[in-house]
Each structure stands twice: as C-alpha cells, then as structure tokens.
Amino acid sequence: MICGLQASSDAGPIQQMHPLMCLSKYPVAFTAKLCTDHSRPKNPGPMKFSMVQLNEGSSFNGESGVFTCPRDGVYYFAVNASIYGRGHCAIYKNGEKVASLYHANSGDDRCTQVASMSSVLKLAKKDEVWIQVFGSRYDILATEDNDTVFTGFLLGFET
C-alpha cells in the first residue's frame, strides 16, 4: 500500500484515502530559523538553525542543523535565505550537494534580499539532510528583521 491509496477489503479496485489521514500517523515536519549568533556562517559543515519553531517527529536537531530521516519516504526541503551582499549555500544529502543557490546583491541601492531553493528527495531511514555555505560568499543573515529559514516535511511513503 502506498500512502494515499488503499486496496478495498474485497481486493477490488483501489480506493482513495485522504493523504493527511495516513501521514498524521507518522508526522515528520520541521521549521527552524537561523539565530543572530549564527548569522554570516563561515564554518564548514551544516548551518545551525537553532531557533526551532516546529519539530513534529523530533527528526531535526537545531544545534547541529541536521535532519535525520526517521523512515523511508519522499521529503520536501526548502531554505529561504536573507542575503546582504553575496550568499552561496546548498542543500546536502549525506554529504552530497543536491541543490544550491548563489545570490549577488550589489550596487548603490544594496539592501537585504531573499533567495530561495527547494528540493524533493527520496530518503532512506537515517539519511541526513542539511544546509551548508560554500565558496567564499557568506552574507547569509539572521537579524531581528530578516529571517533565514530551513523547512522540511514528509510528502509520502510506502507501507
């Protein structure tokens, strides 16, 4: 059975089941913000999104910035990065870059702008996903007025 589809008891046609009914048994969702202490990250490794606003299923660790997959499935991840100047970051899965963004903001009317990226990934239990800066551009901000946010959630799974 695939979440969202369920065979009837008489082994007849497949019947539609609302996907949220299935996913509500296994909630996996998080939203976390970069705190001002970790603004403009320069260290290699995962960015630390320590202001965790939602962590259904407890699979995201804000101190390490790493999501650890609790079950096989298809997941959606997104980052919205506030950038003043130039910023270069990527979504990583088990140490491999799967999506990246580069944003340059220059000129006389320079201001903070938001760049976004997202990815849908098929994960196995214990796979890890995180956001990491790379290159030489680290102007990804977290201020009182500008948020950088990392979000992820389970889209579906096979049972």
Give the separation between CA 29 and CA 153, rounded to whole angstroms. Answer: 4
Q: Which residue has the higher pLDDT, 63 or 25?
A: 63
pLDDT digit string, tens, across residues 12-41: 454 444 454 556 678 999 999 886 665 555
- The pTM (predicted TM-score) of the whole model is 0.79
Task: Identify the structural domains of the chain with CATH numbers, from first to last.
Answer: 28-156 (2.60.120.40)
Q: Identify the pLDDT of residue 1.
A: 44
